[in-house]
Amino acid sequence: MRYNGEKRRKVFAGVQIIKDSRILLGMKRHGTGKGLWQHAFAGKVEKNESIIEAAVRELQEETGLIALPQNLNKIGLFEYEFTNPSLVPFIMEVHIYRASEWTGHPKTSGEIRPKWFNITEIPYETMWPDNKYWLEKSIQGEPIYGYFLYEDWKTVSTFHIEKLIEEVS
């Protein structure tokens, strides 16, 4: 199931970092999601940039970590819609990869403050509400497709989750 309405969409890409039994989350310092822990380091795909190139760039810009495209595995494709177009007037199409290897040590950037969490102590109460529906499955290695319809910044009114089966491009 993919959103197939008439709304325009913006494409985003990001990278999730997990090592041993810990996940690197990022506290959003400004903009949409300010004050919430993010499950991945993500941002908009720029013109003339592939989705995976955007994911690599966003990881480096937000954390200082460097991952190579061949060390990224697709773990999620998410579509976010808001019932109120004054909040977000487009579909957010978000591609998430997990890095199997990277170099560097996480550093705070202007946008994100990274912090390691034990995967049994993820602060779901200070994350986007949709994370509680899929993040644990993703951590366990299940690739996820999810559609989430938000009423406002804190309320998911409906959602659909299934195993991600990537189309060949």
Full DSSP string of 113-125 = EEEEEEGGG--GG
Average pLDDT over residues 110-127: 96
pLDDT surpasses 90 at 7 = no
Distances (CA, A) of 57 to 44, 96, 151: 10, 13, 31
Residue 5 pLDDT: 76
pLDDT tens column, 74-83: 999 999 999 9
> Mean pLDDT over all residues of the chain?
94
| Proportion of the chain above pLDDT 90, given as a percent | 89
Alpha carbon distance 10, 132 (integer Å): 23
Higher pLDDT, 64 or 5: 64
Alpha carbon distance 40, 52 (integer Å): 14
Across 3-40, where does the E strand assignment appear?
A: 9-19, 22-28, 37-38
Q: 9-163 maps to which CATH number? A: 3.90.79.10
Residue 167 pLDDT: 56
Q: In which band, very low, low, confident or very high, does the pLDDT at 98 lie, cut at 50, 70 and 90?
A: very high
pLDDT tens column, 33-55: 899 999 999 999 999 999 999 99
Q: Which among 83, 11, 3, 16 is positioned nearest to 50, based on CA atoms?
A: 11
